[in-house]
Amino acid sequence: MTTMEAPALTSHPRQSLAPGTLAIIVRVGLIIGIGLMMASVSPGFVSADNFLNILRQASLLFLVASGLTLVIIGGGLDLSIGANLTLCACLAAAAIKSIGQPAAGIAVALGCGAVVGLANGVLINRVKIPAFLATFGMLWVAQGIAYWFMAGQVIYGFSPAFRFFGSGFWFGVPVPIWVMLVTGACGLIFLSRTTFGREVYIMGANEAAAVLSGIPVARHRVFLYVMSGLMAGLSALIYVARLNAAEPGIGEPLLLPAIAAVLVGGTSLSGGSGGLFGTLLGAIILTLIVNALNLLNVSASWHPFVTGTIVLLAMLADAVVNRGMRK
């Protein structure tokens, strides 16, 4: 079973390939297609440097989207990730500046992310506020605190030791890519090799059945929101280290691309299917499109249109392939 597959929920008697595997094939095909097209028209595209460049940019998007993927698979939604990232970035930057130790910033960022995630989980599971509304409210609360805390200013200039997380290289590969690989691998193992991970798929696909079968849905869901918050906190650290600055607008533009990466990766917004490998491919596709448009010097006015069209074509290819498999 692949991680893109909801266990025993989406199989079809006449299918030889699981829908998850098909989705992966479609996306890998899209990446290869764009790659071949670019290789023929842009000499700068095919180089180790550019591939690392694409992966480094995709890694930042993947880290933000990975926590969201877990939440969505479990049947939830987290609209507060961008604002959570902003708040964690600002608080962590202030902690590093005042204490002078990167460790302080790491602790503050992860702590802040976990607290915001826990608050989301409690609002949704204990207070019974719908996930959309709870996390939408939390978006404003986190962003508001960040605005108040920063008062329109930017915190900048960090030590090389801290900047290593965003700008450094390890064995010739940018550190954010290593962080993406490690967190992605942990997430893949969690979803596909643990009972808890499989229960996440079940509760996302059919919450009532999950409750009846004894799965502690409420506790699991709180855990997923805490994980989403932790990933926002980790992303905040990488962003601050990469940009050498924390500003109160850092996370706001990341929400929609993160949701897009999850959905383009094949995770269903209704929960119960999808996976982190798909989100990784989604992040690569979105980054690759922008990279290609920049290399071709296409006017930025066309970027949203081209991105949207390619995303829709990917979804259309999914639908066509799935229909073909059912015949």
Partner 1 sequence: MTNRSVRNIWILSAAMGLTFYGLAASPALAAGEIIAAFTKNQVDPHFEDVRAGVEQMAKKMNATVRQYVPTKPNNITEGMSQLEDVGVTKPSLVLFMPIDPKAQLPTIKRLIDAKTPVLNYNDRAGDAPYLAFVGEDDYKLGYDIAKTLFDHLGGKGKIVILEGIKGSNTGDERKRGFDAALKEYPNIKLLASQPANFQRLLGLQVMENLIQQFNDIDGVIAAADASALGAAEALKSAGRGNVPVVSINGVPEAVEAVKTGSLLAIAEFNGFKIGCVATEIGLKAIRGEPVPKQVVIPAAIITKSNHAEWLVPYPERTCPAAASYIGQ
Shortest Cβ 239–partner 1 spacing (Å): 8
Which C-beta is closer to partner 1: that of 200 or that of 283?
Answer: 283
Q: Residue 229 is encoded by which pair of tokens?
A: 């918050």
CA distances (Å), origin 97, targets 46, 123, 145, 157, 317: 40, 33, 19, 9, 49
Query: Which of 190, 252, 268, 306 contacts partner 1 by CB under 8 A?
Result: 252
172 binds partner 1 (CB under 8 A): no
Residues that contact partner 1, how many (by CB under 8 A): 39
Instruction: By CB under 8 A, tell whether 94 contacts partner 1.
Output: no
Q: Is 36 exposed, middle or buried (0-12, 13-18, 19+ CB in 10 A)?
A: exposed
Q: Does 318 bind partner 1 (CB under 8 A)?
A: no
Nearer to partner 1, 33 or 249 (CB): 249
Residue window 131-170: x/- pattern of binding to partner 1, with contact defined by CB under 8 A? ---------x--xx--x--xxxxx-xx---------x---
40 is an interface residue for partner 1 by CB under 8 A? no
Shortest distance, CB of residue 130 to partner 1, whole angstroms? 17
Residues 282-301 touching partner 1, rule: CB under 8 A, are 290-291, 294-295, 297, 300-301
Instruction: Report the residue from 244, 306, 315, 318 that binds partner 1 according to the rule CB under 8 A.
Output: 244
Report how far residue 70's alpha carbon sits from residue 228's, in angstroms, rounded to the nearest whole number: 7
Residue 158 CA neighbour count, 13 Å, CB half? 33
Closest to partner 1 by CB, 27 or 56? 56
Q: Do residues 233 and 114 touch, judged by C-beta distance below 8 A?
A: yes
Long-range Cβ contacts of 221-224 (<8 Å, 24+ apart): 221/74, 221/75, 221/76, 221/121, 221/124, 221/125, 222/118, 222/121, 222/122, 222/125, 223/121, 224/70, 224/71, 224/74, 224/76, 224/121, 224/200
Q: Quickly list H helices, the chain.
A: 19-41, 48-73, 81-99, 102-125, 131-150, 160-167, 175-193, 195-205, 207-212, 217-243, 255-264, 276-295, 303-326
Rounded distance between C-alpha atoms, residue 278 and residue 104, angstroms: 33
Confirm if 62 and 280 have CB atoms less than 8 A apart. yes
Q: Single out the residue of 311, 289, 310 nearest to residue 300, CA to CA.
A: 289
Least distance from C-beta 169 to partner 1, angstroms?
9
Q: Is 16 in the site for partner 1 (CB under 8 A)?
A: no
Structure tokens at 270: 């209704």
Binding segment for partner 1 (CB under 8 A), chosen from 44-52, 108-116, 219-227, 264-272, is 44-52
Nearer to partner 1, 128 or 323 (CB): 128
Q: Quick one: which of 172, 214, 253, 324 contacts partner 1 (CB under 8 A)?
A: 253
| 42: contact with partner 1 by CB under 8 A | yes
Strand, coil or helix: what is 156? strand
Smallest gap from residue 59 Cβ to partner 1 (A): 12
- Nearer to partner 1 by Cβ, of 252 and 318: the residue is 252
Positions touching partner 1 (CB under 8 A) are 42, 44-45, 47, 49-50, 53, 56-57, 140, 143-144, 147, 150-154, 156-157, 167, 239, 242-245, 247-250, 252-253, 290-291, 294-295, 297, 300-301
